[in-house]
Amino acid sequence: MSNPPAVTVLTRKPGRSRAHHRLHLAPPMPALRTTLTFDGVEAVEIVAPDRYCAELLVDFAGSVFPAKLVSGPSWIVRFQPPPSGGEWVSDLLALVERWLAAAPIPCAKMRRGGRSYLIRGPLDAA
């Protein structure tokens, strides 16, 4: 049997520390509303790593979700969710999982309502 690794213990010496001055932070600025909408319904954006993957995602969307490729510094596919009901969320997540497996990429960033989500692809059982 080998000996367990040594544990380093850090201790604080009494007296003034370098960070004894308080920081005065400004109050947070209100977030700017940058939500994109299609006819009053909040858009969902998926960030793709390259043009090929973005076009593949638009092809996967087909007639299930209206989608368009957005020009800019990154490859973004913008989806228009239906105006009513929440069942479209599971359909969109299933579509993105199929796309992640086909691309193949490990994950993608989804943005909606000023929030960002990381969607991971299905794990291989191999």
Question: What's the rounded mean pLDDT across residues 18-25?
Answer: 40
**Residue 13 within a domain:** no
**Residue 4 within a domain:** no
Mean per-residue pLDDT over the chain, rounded: 74
**Residue 45 within a domain:** yes
**Residue 57 within a domain:** yes
- The dihedral through the CA atoms of 118, 56, 40, 33 has a sign that is positive
Helix or strand or coil: residue 98?
Answer: helix
- pTM as predicted: 0.65
Does 42 score more than 90 pLDDT? no
N-to-C CA span, the chain: 33
**Residue 109 within a domain:** yes
Question: What's the rounded mean pLDDT across residues 31-52?
Answer: 71
Domain count within the chain: 1
Residue-wise DSSP of 52-75: HHHHHHHHHHTTTS-EEEEPSSSE
**Residue 7 within a domain:** no
Question: What's the rounded mean pLDDT across residues 60-73?
Answer: 87
pLDDT tens by residue, 72-92: 888 999 998 887 667 888 899
Q: Which residue segment(s) compose the domain that 62 sits in?
A: 37-120
Angle at 90 between CA 86 and CA 92, to 5 degrees: 100
**Residue 52 within a domain:** yes
**Residue 26 within a domain:** no
CATH number of the CATH domain containing 56: 3.30.70
